A = this chain, B = another copy of it.
């Protein structure tokens, strides 16, 4: 693939100055850019790098003197981070999946494949599954019986979409993601130690030894439009209702979403986040990496939780959280500042005790 600088400016809706006909094959950091690369220098701190590299064209910070920087063409963008989305979409070759259905793929009876689909080697599409138009499915993926995937999906290598799962348009799943495994739900014939602990916050009682019997997941998973799942991420089926993920929500790698969980729209769940069963997450919630959410709780709209926050109880809308257990971020920072100073505090209290006891002695 090659583009002109003009193509790039047009794709970004950005202002072009200089020679728009220069051919570009790659985006590069300024210091590593060659003559066929467009240098990404959206901040004055990159001026130096431009001098060391050999780019003829660059995306520049507002007001940059491109001629003085030795460039022949410049693209100016108002919000550099956002421009990255347009630029990388333009230049991403995407995975090579040949058009049509690979002869080794197995399409079970009654499955329907949309127009212009590309289905790779060793893919299995189950009976009565419905796959939208222009969907691309890489090797070894499975779309099980009665599942539905909307238009324009990109389903990568070894992804497993379970039976009866329903997914909207423009879905992206990185390799190894699993949608629709059975929920982790077990029950004992009599009340279990865990049930006792949860009621008493600590006492296990005298629950007898007993085996676990599985509660099967009769529900499936419902996923909205524009949802993305990271590599090896797992979303379990619901018990009766479907587990659900709202439109626009993105999950990173190795995320665990338990059975019956409901996640709202436009959320970001970073790497290794875990949501235990039956919890409800609002819209526009952002969880940094390794956040954990207890089962059967509620996290309101617009909550933001920092890295490895463990949320045990309901969190009201708009709350910014950090810590184990989760606190308001500013309380957490203050509490942990105190924790580091605890040894000094113990010393101060000991000194006070000595002083006060002396005062009393001398009374």
Contacts and interface: CB of A to CB of B under 8 A. Distances in A.
Interface in A6-32: 26-29, 32
A241 B212 CA distance: 27
Interface stretch (A49-57, A63-71, A336-344): A336-344
B239 A230 contact: no
A362 B363 CA distance: 9
Interface string A72-100: 00000001011011001101110110000
A70 to B, nearest CB: 20
A112 B69 CA distance: 43
A122 B125 CA distance: 13
A240 B41 CA distance: 12
A13 to B, nearest CB: 11
Interface string A323-346: 111011111011110111111011
Given A250-B186, A276-B271, A193 B342 contact: no
A104 B122 CA distance: 10
A253 B334 CA distance: 35
Contacts of A212: 248, 250, 266, 268
A157 B157 contact: no
Contact of A256 (B188, B289, B325, B329): B289
A335 B340 contact: yes
A234 B144 CA distance: 23
Nearest to A209: B284
Nearest to A88: B216
A46 B112 CA distance: 39
Nearest to A288: B276
Interface string A186-218: 111110011001000111100001111111111
Q: How large is the interface on A (under 10, 10 to 19, 20 to 34, 35 or more residues)?
A: 35 or more
A333 B104 CA distance: 57
A349 B355 CA distance: 13
A270 interface: yes
A356 interface: yes
A149 interface: no
A227 to B, nearest CB: 10
Contact of A307 (B185, B189, B276): B276
A227 B323 CA distance: 34
Interface string A117-142: 00011101011000000000011101
Given A212-B266, A359-B363, A329 B201 contact: yes
A209 B353 CA distance: 50
Contact of A349 (B232, B289, B348, B363): B348
A151 interface: no
13 contacts: A84-B185, A95-B144, A96-B145, A176-B234, A214-B228, A232-B254, A234-B253, A270-B276, A307-B312, A338-B343, A338-B346, A352-B356, A356-B356
Given A156-B160, A178-B232, A181-B231, 19 more contacts: A81-B187, A82-B187, A85-B186, A88-B217, A89-B216, A96-B145, A96-B163, A139-B142, A156-B181, A160-B231, A202-B320, A210-B266, A256-B271, A274-B289, A274-B290, A327-B340, A335-B343, A355-B360, A359-B359
